[in-house]
Amino acid sequence: MGRAVREEAGRSLEARGGHSLRLMSALGHLAREPGLSYSELGRRAGVTAQSMQATVLQLERAGAVARSSPAGRGRTAVLRVTEHGRHMLAEMRQTLAELEEPLLAGLSTEERAVLAKALGQVAANLRTAAGPSGNLRTSSETDRQ
């Protein structure tokens, strides 16, 4: 189910502005915590710092992110979300909100709350099971240790 929703979200973002979940994720993290490094952004997105550099470059070219430090090997980039980037992020969030509504159709407010709580617990379990490495261990792997 998660994969299907993620794929539909990606298609919706692409159709409504040529965006992606990766761009939205990087933009959202930077909006909440300006100054994150490429490495930290990459860790949060589950990609390498080099891959995140390409993502941030796309955001820079779109005018969504501005660098306030000179580019260069070994230099920490200081990145901030521009006003245009905040507008882009709001549009992306609206796109996902519109996608969410038909998925939750027929669920009462209480059922939506229960679902949100259950999914929150699953996400917390995933973070715990993945541990610091970020790699999920299966129960048979855990049993062998």
**pLDDT of 71 higher than 70:** no
Residue with tokens 């490429």: 38
Check: CB of residue 125 under 8 Å from CB of residue 139.
Answer: no
Lowest-pLDDT range, 7-16, 44-53, 126-135?
126-135
In 3D space, the residue among 72, 70, 90, 94 whose CA is nearest the CA of residue 82 turns out to be: 90
User: Is the per-residue pLDDT at 139 higher than 60?
Assistant: no
Predicted TM-score (pTM) of this structure: 0.75
Cα(89)–Cα(95) distance, integer angstroms: 10
